[in-house]
Amino acid sequence: MSRSNTVFIGRKPVLNYVLACMTLFKSGQEEVLVKARGRSISTAVDVVEVIRGRFMPELKVGEIIIGTEELTSPDRNQPTNVSTIEIKLHR
């Protein structure tokens, strides 16, 4: 899956990401990947549910991949573990 059909979830409101996903589908993408990590995971789930519930009920949730990334912050020398999620949506 290429980066061109990936939506990275951050700190913006849910509807911003819903619009980004819908724009990708309207531009002809058959599959969109929603990625998030840390506290943004709940936002990613909200985005998928809003799209399926309100705007595109025909969408199917494909593979859901969960994992852990090890990050080292600049202010601390110790690595910390951050949870990740990838949700594939397809028509």
Domain around 80: 3-90
Number of structural domains the chain divides into = 1
* Pick from 90, 87, 4: nearest CA to 47: 87
Segments of the chain scoring below 70 in pLDDT: 1-2
Given this model, what pLDDT does residue 44 score? 98
80-85, long-range: CB < 8 A, 24+ apart: 82/37, 82/38, 83/37, 83/38, 83/41, 84/35, 84/36, 84/37, 84/41, 85/35, 85/36, 85/37, 85/41, 85/44, 85/45
Given this model, what pLDDT does residue 2 score? 59
Q: What CATH number is associated with residue 42?
A: 3.30.110.20
What does pTM read for this prediction?
A: 0.89
